[in-house]
Amino acid sequence: MKAIVRRSAIALGLGLAATPLRRTLAQETATYPNHPVRLLVGFAPGGSLDFAARSLSERLTARLGQSFVVENRAGATGNVAAEAVARAAPPRDGHLLLMGNVQNLAVNAASQRDLGFDPARDLLPVAQVATVPYVVAVPAELPVRSMAELIALARQQPGRLNAGTPGVGSLQHLALELLKARAGVLDIAHVPFRGGSEVARELIGGRLQIGIDTLVSFGPGVEAGRIRPLATLHAERLPGHPGLPTVAETTGLDGVEASGWIGIAGPSGMPRQALARLEAAVAWAMMETDLPARMDAQGLVARFGDTQAFGVLVASEREKWARVVREAGITLG
């Protein structure tokens, strides 16, 4: 996968416009963007996707000289925003973009019968910016301090624990079902919400005993001492939070890893000049600013993937999660 992390590679790509063969392309791409760009987020404010979108938009605004304005359009596990970009009226010129994730670019096509659009046909991957590790968290008042203790409690009190995620068919929901199956504690009720910030609110309020989402969503509650993260579902400990163990470490369970990812997508048919200019600006933000450090501090794992690499990732993830959805029997109307 061409996840570019070397400054020299980025510099080489950005320097091509200075050569005679690329002069015309440089002149054409300089016209994008020529008015403010709307960047749609398919989930409520306060989550990892919203954080990444707002942080990246600040840097794209500085780099490209036009405002990148974030708009939250929550609903249907990210499909409301994705459909708005997928079915955008002409000109489909890159002034309406999607800050997408594994959910609305890969999972939903498998778990929902009628999207009203085809992500593979109607959306164009531009660049990946992060991997999104999920975390299992509990209210601070719950008398458990490890995943092993949480599983033991679930076995002692079958049917008494509620687990919240950002929606039916969300990747967090699939991760919950995977964890329940591997741990042999199937009698945990799933409670879906519209975003991770709502899951955090219900944990703090004591109406949930378990939440699965990102540290970005749980961060304010963790800082206030109201939410306790127990473990990450990522395959490795997080660079910005090395003290948080993995689920596999603390339980000995195999095959419980689940992580998402974040990236920008545009409408299919987006001009190649606009695509190239936007991809280069994202690369600059990931290579030459403090954005990766900010992402790592928030519990994300900064990772840049160019248009080609991101396209390969999206396609492979669609196939992977389609299999998981079929095996879990999760289908929405």
Average pLDDT, the chain: 89
Whole-angstrom Cα distance, residue 18 to residue 28? 13
Secondary structure (3-state) at 154: helix
pLDDT above 80: residue 325: no
Q: Lowest-confidence range among 213-222, 224-233, 282-291?
A: 213-222
Q: How many CB atoms lie within 10 A of CB 310?
A: 28
Q: 239 vs 15, which has greater pLDDT?
A: 239
The radius of gyration computed from the CA coordinates of the chain, to the nearest angstrom, equals 20
Q: Quick one: pLDDT at residue 23?
A: 41
Q: What is the mean pLDDT of residues 295-309?
A: 94
pLDDT above 70: residue 1: no
Token pair for 155: 């076995």
Token pair for 320: 């992977």
pLDDT above 60: residue 39: yes
Secondary structure (3-state) at 92: coil
Residue 35 CB-density burial (10 A; 0-12 exposed, 13-18 middle, 19+ buried) = exposed
Q: Quick one: pLDDT at residue 331?
A: 66
Query: Can you list the domains of the chain with their CATH numbers?
Result: 7-132+259-328 (3.40.190.150), 135-251 (3.40.190.10)
Closest C-alpha among 279, 230, 251 to residue 97: 279
Q: Quick one: pLDDT at residue 320?
A: 85
Residues above pLDDT 70, as percent of the chain: 89
Contact 134, 259 (CB under 8 A): yes
Q: Lowest-confidence range among 56-65, 138-147, 188-197?
A: 188-197
Contact 148, 239 (CB under 8 A): no
pLDDT above 70: residue 20: no
pLDDT band at 3; cut points 50, 70, 90? low
Q: 120 vs 328, which has greater pLDDT?
A: 120
pLDDT above 50: residue 28: no
Interval 253-291: pLDDT, tens: 988 888 999 999 999 999 999 999 999 999 999 999 999
Contact 23, 17 (CB under 8 A): yes
